[in-house]
């Protein structure tokens, strides 16, 4: 395992003919192996851009993102990604979606089936193995997407508002399931979210960003074991504090 992430001097600038948008400016962050980092920030602050830079889907303007001696300049199977809108392949069944990464790696069919059976069971999808994607509910789709990202055993999992498209109830269920899943894996997770509640519920550390260009406003350690009690006074107090900080960011426009 080499799940640590080191971000040094990261800047991302979008240039068009007559304008320049600085999405991220001189950003530094060290993420430890096996850590769950939640990144929260005002809308449009560059959270997703940051995640896409780590994934290697965006070219960085300056700076280096690396893990040990490995520099992340291109996407790779060492970093799995879960998208907000699931990004499942609609022409593939649930099983074939989950097996995609294994297929790419050239794993023989029997082995693929063995592994996908395991992940189908893990995510409670066994009964839906041969279903088409469009037959599933939003929560089910995101389970498929998570299974697809987990199956190749990436050291790092990047989640871009994975529960953002789900209704509140499904969202809570998925958060609980992610907590259970976390106990079984030692992967590093970088989790982008709109929801401070979700961040406090899940994360080891919460990185609070400023409005664009994204800089770190504060890093909050959340020392409590999971699963956490949303109704506890510490929980609500921490949530309120971070929310206030974000509101200040939003009104400073």
Provide the binding-site residues for other proteins, judged by CB under 8 A.
Answer: 55-57, 75-77, 79-81, 83, 85, 87-91, 100-101, 103-105, 132-135, 148-149, 152, 158
What angle, 0 to 180 degrees and rounded to 10, lies between the N-to-C axes of helices 138-150 and 109-122?
130
CB of 8 to other proteins, least distance (A): 22
**Angle made by CA atoms 208, 210, 215, in degrees to the nearest 5:** 85
For the CB of residue 244, give the shortest distance to other proteins in the complex, in Å: 33
- Between 75 and 227, whose beta carbon lies closer to other proteins? 75
Nearer to other proteins, 11 or 132 (CB): 132
Q: How far is the CB of 86 from other proteins (least distance, A)?
A: 8
Determine contact, residues 151/117, Cβ cutoff 8 Å.
no
Residue number with CB closer to other proteins (85 or 249): 85
241/218 Cα distance (integer angstroms)? 11
- Residue 153 C-beta: closest distance to other proteins, Å: 12
Long-range contacts of 141-144 (CB under 8 A, 24+ apart): 141/86, 141/88, 142/82, 142/86, 142/166, 142/174, 143/174, 143/177, 144/86, 144/88, 144/94, 144/97, 144/98
Measured from the CB atom, the residue of 42 and 154 that comes closer to other proteins is: 154
d(C-alpha 151, C-alpha 189), whole Å: 15
Q: How far is the CB of 65 from other proteins (least distance, A)?
A: 14
Cβ nearer to other proteins, comparing 47 with 239: 47
């Amino acid at each position: 395992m080499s799940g640590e992430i080191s971000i040094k001097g990261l800047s991302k600038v979008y240039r068009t003919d007559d304008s320049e948008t600085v999405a991220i400016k001189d950003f530094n962050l060290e993420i430890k192996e096996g850590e769950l980092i939640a990144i929260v920030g005002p809308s449009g602050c560059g959270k997703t851009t940051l995640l896409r830079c780590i994934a290697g889907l965006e070219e960085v303007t300056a700076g280096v993102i690396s893990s040990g001696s490995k520099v992340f300049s291109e996407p790779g199977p060492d970093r799995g990604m879960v998208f907000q809108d699931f990004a499942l392949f609609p022409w593939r069944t649930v099983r074939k979606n989950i097996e995609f990464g294994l297929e790419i790696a050239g794993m023989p069919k029997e082995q693929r089936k063995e592994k996908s059976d395991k992940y189908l069971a893990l995510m409670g999808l066994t009964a839906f193995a041969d279903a088409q994607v469009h037959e599933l509910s939003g929560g089910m789709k995101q389970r498929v997407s998570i299974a697809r990202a987990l199956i190749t055993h990436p050291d790092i999992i990047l989640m871009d508002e994975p529960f953002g498209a789900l209704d509140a109830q499904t969202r809570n269920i998925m958060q609980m399931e992610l907590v259970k899943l976390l106990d079984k894996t030692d992967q590093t997770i970088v989790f982008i979210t709109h929801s401070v509640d979700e961040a406090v519920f899940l994360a080891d550390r919460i990185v609070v960003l400023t409005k664009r260009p994204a800089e770190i406003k504060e890093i909050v350690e959340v020392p409590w074991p999971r699963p956490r009690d949303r109704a506890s006074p510490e929980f609500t107090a921490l949530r309120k504090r971070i929310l206030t900080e974000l509101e200040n960011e939003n009104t400073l426009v």
